[in-house]
Amino acid sequence: MKPLKRNHLFIMLNSVGCWLVCVMLAGSCNRNNVSESPPPDPEPPVASDVSLYVTQGDKNILFQKQNVSLVFSGTGPAGTIIEVDTAQTFQSIDGFGYTLTGGSATLLNALPAATLDALLKELFLWDSTHIGVSYLRLSIGASDLSASTFTYDDVPAGETDPTLAHFSIDKEKQDLIPILKKIVALNPAIKILGSPWSAPVWMKTNGSFVGGSLKPEYYGVYATYFVKYIQAMKAEGITIDAITVQNEPLHGGNNPSMVMQAVDQAAFIKNNLGPAFAAAGITTKIITYDHNADRPDYPLAILNDAAAKAYVDGSAFHLYGGSITALTDVHNAHPDRHVYFTEQWVGGPGNFAGDLKWHVENLIIGATRNWSRNVLEWNLAADASYQPHTPGGCTSCLGALTIGSDVTRNVAYYIIAHASKFVRPGSVRIASNNSGSFATVAFKNPEGKKVLIVLNKGTETGSFNIKFNGKMVTSSLNGGAVGTYVW
């Protein structure tokens, strides 16, 4: 092959260079022959008196702020009217959130540092796009969504520890406490509720994590166990705002679990737990029951015992049975004591549209309209196989987050976000009416802003007027959608 002459080589390289420049300029050499559409400009924000965030059952809109003009005027079209009245006030709000199970903490703590940092800010701050979770529930010892069963005073089979010499929360220092410290750093005012699934098995009638009851001779020791737990967590910089005496005291089939009848819980509170807290100077609230709304007789039996009631802040409920209106029955019988909603699961794989509608109607709207000071969905996080859980524990509890190689936000994330971001602790529920297919609840938050949560329970798009201080603004929601309106 003949060698190229220097000038021929130069011409060839120069031609190749020009071609490369054209390619690097994204085809500008052929621009006249190619039709390109520039990216659309972002839609400029419109003037509005009201901010609106929407989630739809079809997942086309997921807690997104809507760029719509909602301006109050003296009139509105004929039709449905939802009136908000700040003159009628009800209970104060403590917060909205999840149970930070042991399994949730393990999954979170395994995330890369930068991913975890961003996720915790998204969850627990409330500026920008963050959702402002303001209340957490913890298990005291293991729940069924821990990797294994344990308490804070486990001893070999056949042994006891009545002085609690072996008491230790060291097991929580691996995952739970590190995550809690990060959360408390983001939101020092977050409220934390602790709930035991079981006492140490050596205190129980059957010596097992599953079922059994607390032996009466260990009532005093178990009261000290609660005191030591609250003090140990405080030493780690974590304040336990409240405890429930027993998770699901009428359900002995979970792993772990413990049965505690109302008469026994009343005796434990008035004779042991309440006096132990008072002697130790502990101000952590004592909340009774912590089970389904189908048995309001349980908390009422305790509140009707004056000696027990003296130590009780209120009653906690789940809704795996009964009607959410039972919370009002308990409130009306003892209006000087509070009501809380502390657990509801989403069963995996879930039905986003159906779960969104049911949970918003019955919990975010229903529980708060029936005097609850909080709403807590069940587990914050699980993996794609609903792990971890104990043998015999929940095998299909869908977390608000699914954590694996990435993080997926599930329906409970959006359910809570619609309240937690705007209905900050210290908010007060105010009057609003339900009308037609629209279920509502309204609040005035500490900044003085009004927050109205509306669910369209129907299948068709519906319009309505929001009336406030004699003026109205018109809006609409697609069937099954939830909207949070803030002004």
Tokens of 234: 């405080």
Beta bridge partners of 194: 138, 243
Alpha-carbon gap, residue 257 to 478, rounded angstroms? 42
Q: Which of 248, 361, 447, 460 is catalytic?
A: 248
* 36 given a catalytic annotation: no
How many C-beta atoms lie closer than 10 Å to residue 442's C-beta? 29
Calpha distance 312→303 (Å, rounded): 8
CB 422 within 8 A of CB 484: yes
User: Cα–Cα distance between 484 and 415 in angstroms, integer?
Assistant: 11
Q: How far apart are CA 470 and CA 451, in angstroms?
A: 17
Burial of 49 (0-12, 13-18, 19+ CB in 10 A): middle
Angstrom distance (rounded) from CA 236 to CA 155: 24
Local structure of 286: helix, strand or coil: strand
Between CA 340 and CA 314 the distance in angstroms is 7
Catalytic residue among 343, 361, 377, 460: 343
CA nearest 266: which of 222, 226, 306? 306
Joined together, the tokens standing for residue 422 give 């705007």
Quick check: helix, strand or coil at residue 288?
A: strand
Interatomic CA distance for residues 271 and 305, integer angstroms: 12
Residues 6+ apart with CB under 8 A from 461: 476, 477, 478, 479
Is 343 labeled as catalytic in the residue annotation? yes
Q: Distance between CA 3 and CA 6 in Å, rounded?
A: 9
388 upstream amide cis, omega within 30 of 0: yes
Do residues 442 and 485 make contact, with C-beta atoms less than 8 angstroms apart? no
Q: How far apart are CA 142 and CA 102, in angstroms?
A: 7
436's torsion region: left (phi>0), alpha (psi -120 to 50) or beta?
Answer: left
CA dihedral for 395, 399, 403, 406, sign (positive or negative): positive
Q: Which residue has the tokens 């298990």?
A: 139
Cβ of 216: how many Cβ atoms within 10 Å? 13
Q: Where are the alpha helices (DSSP H) in 384-449?
A: 411-420
CA distance 244 to 197: 10
Give me the active site residues, please. 248, 343
